[in-house]
Structure 1
Amino acid sequence: MSAEYYYNFCQQHMGQEVEITDHHGKVHVGKIEKVDRENVYLRTQAPPPTDRGYGMFFFPLAVGALVAIPLIGIAGARRRPYY
C-alpha cells in the first residue's frame, strides 16, 4: 500500500487506538496524536515496571511516550478492538 493510503487511514482514525506494523515486523500500539505527510505520531502506554528497585522512589512513572513512525515504513495498520 502507498504512503498516501496510510496517510488517509491515519487521518480518518485520529485519536483512536491502532496497531501499526512496520517493515521490520515491529508492532506499535497507541492512539494517533498527529499525522503529517511523512510521519504518524502515536501516544503509547509506558510498559509496566518489572524492577521494583530504588528507581521507583526517585523517578516518576511515564504515562506515555510520543513515537514517530515514517509513513513509508508502515507495512500494515488496523484499529484496535475495544475489550
Structure 2
Amino acid sequence: MSRHYDFCRQNVGRPVKIVTHDGQTHRGIIRKVNPSKVFLDPIDGNRGPGGYGIGYYGGWGWGGFGLGIALGAIATIAFLPFFFW
C-alpha cells in the first residue's frame, strides 16, 4: 500500500489538511480510508465540521461519508490543530 494509505488508516478521526498535486486544498476529519481513496468530513474555518448548518454533509445523501480524495492525487498531508476551527 502507499504511504498515504498507511498514514490515513492510522489517523482516522483526526483533522487534516490535504493538498493535491493540482494545488487544491482540502481540510477535514478523516472518516474512512480504502485502498484508493480517503474520505473526509469537510471543515470550513468559519462554520466547523460540515460547514452548512445541517451537520456534516457526509451524514446522509452522500453515501455516509463526505468528500473522497484519490490517494494517488495527494501531494501532502498535514495535521490541523483543533483550535483551527
Interval of TM-score (by shorter of Structure 1 and Structure 2): 0.7 to 0.9
CA RMSD of aligned residues (A): 2.2
- % identical equivalent positions: 30
Which structure's residues are more often helix, by fraction? 1
SS at match of 1:64: coil
TM-score, reference length from structure 1: 0.74
Matched AA of 2:43: Q
Q: 2:14 maps to what in 1?
A: 16
RCO higher in structure (CA 8 A, sep ≥6): 1
Q: Distance in 2 between matches of 1:81 and 1:31?
A: 11
Q: 1:63 maps to what in 2?
A: 55
Q: Distance in 1 between matches of 2:16 and 2:5?
A: 14
Q: 1:73 maps to what in 2?
A: 73
Q: Where does the alignment leave 5 or more consecutive residues of structure 1 unmatched?
A: 50-59
TM-score, reference length from structure 2: 0.72
State the number of aligned residues.
Answer: 71
- Please tell me whether the aligned partners of residues 7 and 37 of structure 1 are also in contact (alpha carbons under 8 angstroms): yes
Q: What do the CA deviations read for 1:16-56 (whole angstroms, capped 9, x no partner)?
A: 0000000111110000000000000000135759xxxxxxx
Q: Distance in 1 between matches of 2:3 and 2:69?
A: 15
Q: Distance in 1 between matches of 2:54 and 2:15?
A: 19
